[in-house]
Structure 1
């Protein structure tokens, strides 16, 4: 098994797109990229820890590749918005592909360049590609949120993400 970490706004909205794909063992909501070990949701929400909400995906690379995961990631985010995603604003919601090695960095960098050259977006692609840092799972109430809280999840999705995805990716 391998792991991939992606940040694309609220971690609740980043679980479902990966969760049921073949080769995915689990998707965990959590925090990464900050300076405080084992941060709480309240600490991250204060924007004082430097952490970003993210998902850690455990997957079987013989079934689904890292490159495929990166492509799925792009289709969940607005890669032109550096300081949040949709209604979620601030550094803790910034879009980031976290890479663990040179091979992942090349895949992510090449994919980002391909997206930039595609002309799909008028604004520059600003999603960061950063080295993986310690990942801290979020509290239990944030795990599998879309399954346990379908109505609240639907409201979160209506915050602009679903409309954007439909307009930019499904057209």
Structure 2
């Protein structure tokens, strides 16, 4: 986390969390979702404005984390901006590095990691578990992923998407869970 973000958290510790304004699609792109986009429909049917400013993308990536519930957020100064995720919190880029002994994949945020398990869901999407967490293989990298499977480096098992998220402790839409929890408590 950036030092300036940590300082803001200390200075303003009680800023309310934000929900619905930022999302991550299945290709690793961040989307800003203002009130108009949110009113037009749910993510990913209505995506919003793709974040293209490189410095902003890097800032989000450096300050991207999960809470104890498995809900992912971007710590924007003192405010925690919870994300809506299309498929998973990570989108893995796969290339020749994955096919080497001790091979690695790279996250949409630029972090490298090793693969510990793999699954195919009911939509034939390939998910990888890593020390960083669960992620979806980028659609452009399926040729590399197929080579990893053919070489026996990965042996995907079938798992329904909802079951995989539960198994890995991932929350796709935290505001829905907050509302459900408040209703249950009331």
Normalising by structure 1, we get a TM-score of 0.27
- Ranked by relative contact order (alpha carbons within 8 Å, sequence separation 6 or more), the top structure is 1
Tell me which protein shows more strand as a share of its residues. Answer: 2
Tell me which protein shows more helix as a share of its residues. Answer: 1
Query: Which protein is bigger by CA-based radius of gyration?
Result: 2
